[in-house]
Amino acid sequence: MSGTIQFINTTPDELLSAVDQRLEGRLKKLAENFQPKEPTEYLTRHEVANLLKVDVSSVHNYTKKGLLTSYGLSGRVYYKRSEVESALIQLNK
């Protein structure tokens, strides 16, 4: 932003109005492009099994085959919901 701004014959109200219009335009543009970050939802093996309607052993096999990615903490196994949902593939009919 370079350039010169001159306030000749400009009242304070006119200046505030010009600033308000400029800010309103930028805020509107920001609101259109803003995507709030959603927290990552982690699922247990049993929750993944219920979600996919399979047995827990199937979830274990999917993980061993590399179809699902598991994350561990203190001996517990978790899966990211978004990754489980994206692992599903569309079948051609």
Task: Give the whole-angstrom CA distance, residue 38 versus residue 21.
Answer: 31
7 in Cβ contact with 15 (< 8 Å)? yes
40 in Cβ contact with 69 (< 8 Å)? no
Q: Is the pTM of this model over 0.85?
A: no
More confidently predicted of 37 and 72: 72
Q: pLDDT tens digits, residue range 13-68?
A: 888 888 898 899 888 888 888 777 788 999 999 999 999 999 999 999 999 999 99
Domain boundaries, the chain: 42-87
* CB neighbourhood size of 56 (10 A): 13
Quickly tell me which residue has 């959603």 as its tokens.
38
Q: pLDDT tens digits, residue range 37-48?
A: 788 999 999 999
For residue 33, the surrounding DSSP H or E stretch is helix 12-33
pLDDT value for 92: 66
* CB neighbourhood size of 59 (10 A): 26
